[in-house]
Structure formats: C-alpha cells, structure tokens
C-alpha cells in the first residue's frame, strides 16, 4: 500500500462537534481489527473485559480487564490475537472540543496522547468502577441528547482524562514538575512532532522555543527522564518505522522523506538506534504480520 489508511472523525461522528462515542463490541468496521491504521483524532478507551494484544506504534500492550488505552492523532495502531472483541467504551475526539468549550489549555498539560509516553494503563478495581460509571454516563448523554449534553459530555471527558493522568503518574511514581518546566518540555515535544521529517538540531529547536540549549537539555531530562537528543532520535526512528512497514516507499525514499541526504547514512543511523537495518526491520515486521 502506498499510504497508511487514515480514518477521519467526519466519517463516523454523529454530532456537530468533533466528538463521538461507541461501545467497542459494536465498533465501526475496521476500528478494532488486524489492519494497521491511524486517525486524524484522539481515542480514549476503557476496556472492561477481553484478551489479545493492542499494538500502538510498534509497542505491544496486552488487553486485560480494566485497561485504559490512549491513541493519539497520527499514531499507528491495530489489534491482534482477538478471539472476541474487547468489551468496553471508546471516546473519539479532536483537540478542538476543549477550546470550543473553553478548556483550551487542558490537552497539552495532560500529555496522554504523545508518541513518547506509554499508551496503556491497567487500573485497580476501584478505579475501574469509577471509569465504568463515567462511561455509562457519557453513553446516556449521547443517547438522550438532552439540553447541555455536549457540554456535559466534554466535561466528563475532561474529568476522565485528568483522573487518567493522575493514575498514570501514580503508577510511574512520577512527581509533578514545575509549570514552567512542563511548558518548555511540551513546546519541545510539539516542535519535534511538527518537524519530524526535517533535519533539525537541538540547537535549532531550542532557538525556536526561546531557551538556551543547556536549559532545554536540563529541563527535558528532568521532566522526561531522558535527554532531548534521545527523544528527537526516538521520534525520527518511529517515523522511519511507520514509513518502512506501512508504505511501499523504497528505503531511499524513506531516507529522503526524513531529510537524510544520504540513504547509507540513514541506514547506519537506523541500525545504531534499532540494531536492525531498515530492510531487516521491514522484512521482520512483514513476516510477523503475515502470521497474525
């Protein structure tokens, strides 16, 4: 295939805002299945039962009861080894829903839909009860569409995302960083995402953000636990993986798309970061996928 399937919310939404909801066991065709795809919107899953594997940007997450999955806009994901569709709920939303209702600063603070973070969280029984009740409430709002149902739904989504962020932090034993450090790190990650196909240095990114290289490096390491350079390389490698296995581009075309002037240098870069050549990675993935 020349291009990875890209699903848009317009094709499945039922409301006049960029927001939709459905039960996973009643999912639209292609939403939960073995075909890799990506979206122009974010997905927030609560799975109450089921088994199998959810693969998000090449990371395999077991499907267990009481699991949260977050899939960000542009991330490649699919499901495999599913004997029975996972039972649960998913909210699909575009980023504009929060500014639309006056919550424009929420999503960047949460950082739940970034390719740099973990996309699954396994809840305690008590936490799962709370999320299940909230999802039931969202389903009720979508069914009745009574006065203020949109505002109520967005507010409940906001509450769930905030609670999910708190639980993610608790499970990772992380502590809240200073607001300024979070803002700088978020701006850095945003710039990396926007310029993933460009060959930008940490110095250029620091200049764009308006901080020194030393300050950016220290801040990112404090918030993320790894260096800014490591995150930049990881993101470029992820994009290379997506292009290698989900398109018919030649390896040289992938290299040029990612602003490598020399395909052989791209090959050395990829092998240094992944321990496999681009060709080996493509062939290994295709063999593995053919067995799904």
Question: In whole angstroms, how far apart are CA 120 and each of 113, 184, 230?
Answer: 11, 25, 22
Query: 278-290 and 228-246 helices cross at what angle (nearest 10)?
Result: 60
pLDDT at 105: 63
pLDDT at 13: 45
Domains in the chain (CATH in brackets) are 6-171 (2.60.120.280), 179-290 (1.10.10.60)
Q: What six digits make up the tokens of 262?
A: 């020399």
Q: What six digits make up the tokens of 48?
A: 């109450």
Query: Looking at the DSSP assignment, which residues form a beta bridge with residue 151?
Result: none
Q: What six digits make up the tokens of 276?
A: 């496999």
Cβ-in-10-Å burial (0-12, 13-18, 19+) of 260 comes to buried
CA 218 – CA 207 distance, rounded (Å): 15
Residue among 86, 153, 164 at smallest CA distance from 130: 164
pLDDT at 179: 63
pLDDT at 280: 95
Going residue by residue through the chain (292 aa), what tens digit of pLDDT does each one get? 455 566 665 544 444 458 899 999 887 665 788 888 888 899 999 999 999 999 999 889 999 999 999 999 888 899 988 877 889 999 999 888 877 666 666 776 777 888 877 789 999 999 999 999 999 999 999 999 999 998 899 999 999 999 998 887 655 544 444 467 777 888 898 899 888 899 889 999 999 999 999 999 999 988 888 899 999 999 999 999 999 988 899 999 999 999 999 999 999 999 999 999 999 999 988 777 654 4
Helix, strand or coil for residue 93?
strand
């Amino acid at each position: 295939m020349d291009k990875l399937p890209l699903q848009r919310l317009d094709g499945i939404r039922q409301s006049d805002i960029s927001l939709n909801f459905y039960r996973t066991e009643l999912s639209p065709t292609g939403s939960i299945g073995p075909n890799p795809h990506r979206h122009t919107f974010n997905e927030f899953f609560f799975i109450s039962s089921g088994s199998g594997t959810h693969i998000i940007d090449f990371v395999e997450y077991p499907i267990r009861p009481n699991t949260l999955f977050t899939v960000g806009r542009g991330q490649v994901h699919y499901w495999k080894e599913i004997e029975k569709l996972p039972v649960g709920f998913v909210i699909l939303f575009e980023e504009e829903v929060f500014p639309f209702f006056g919550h424009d600063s929420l999503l960047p603070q949460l950082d739940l839909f970034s390719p740099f973070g973990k996309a699954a969280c396994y809840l305690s029984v008590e936490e799962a009860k709370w999320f299940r009740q909230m999802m039931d409430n969202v389903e009720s709002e979508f069914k009745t569409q009574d006065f203020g149902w949109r505002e109520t739904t967005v507010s409940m989504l906001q509450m769930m995302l905030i609670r999910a962020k708190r639980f993610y932090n608790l499970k990772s034993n992380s502590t809240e960083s200073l607001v300024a450090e979070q803002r700088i790190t978020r701006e850095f990650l945003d710039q990396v995402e926007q310029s993933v196909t460009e060959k930008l240095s940490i110095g250029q990114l620091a200049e764009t953000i308006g901080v020194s290289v030393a300050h950016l490096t220290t801040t990112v390491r404090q918030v993320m636990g790894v260096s800014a350079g490591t995150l930049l390389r990881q993101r470029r490698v992820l994009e290379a993986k997506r292009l290698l296995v989900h398109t018919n581009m030649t390896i040289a075309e992938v290299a040029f798309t990612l602003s490598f002037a020399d395909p052989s240098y791209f090959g050395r870069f990829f092998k240094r970061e992944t321990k496999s050549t681009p060709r080996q990675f493509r062939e290994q993935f295709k063999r593995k996928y053919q067995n799904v």
